[in-house]
């Protein structure tokens, strides 16, 4: 879908955004979706640190319950999938708020 303002045209795809899925909050911040990016960073960072602790315990062969190995990974994957599916929608909403019109 294309959006125009003055002589500038911005194209935003429909559906899943692979770049938003891969880069998550970095993609959000690069697209000037500040609020979304900061909220995701606030959620993401503690989970990532917990994930790092779990991975370090695996490497040093501490015995944690097996469920702890997968919980942070599943949560991080869910966050990335959510951003991948919602990223283009958030981008379209931002463009409309900035005064762009759908073509």
Strand partners, 101: 4
pLDDT-based confidence at residue 44 (cuts at 50, 70, 90): confident
What pLDDT shows up at residue 68?
65
DSSP state of 27: H
Token look-up 């990016």 returns: 37
- In tens, the pLDDT along 53-68 reads 777 777 666 555 566 6
pLDDT at 18 over 90: yes
Range of the domain at 69: 2-102
Do residues 11 and 101 lie in contact, with contact meaning Cβ atoms separated by under 8 Å? no
Q: How far apart are CA 21 and CA 42, in angstroms?
A: 17
Domain count, the chain: 1
| R_g of the chain, CA atoms, integer Å | 18
Tell me how many degrees the CA angle 69-74-79 measures, rounded to the nearest 5. 140
């Amino acid at each position: 879908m294309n959006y125009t303002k003055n002589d500038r045209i911005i194209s935003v795809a429909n559906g899943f955004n692979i770049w938003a899925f891969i880069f998550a909050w970095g993609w959000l911040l690069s697209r000037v979706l500040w609020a979304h990016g900061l909220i995701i960073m606030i959620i993401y960072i503690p989970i990532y640190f917990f994930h790092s602790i779990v991975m370090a315990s695996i490497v040093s062969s501490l015995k944690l319950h097996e469920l702890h190995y997968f919980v942070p990974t599943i949560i991080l994957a869910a966050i990335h999938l959510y951003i991948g599916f919602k990223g283009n929608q958030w981008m379209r909403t931002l463009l409309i708020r900035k005064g762009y019109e759908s073509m």
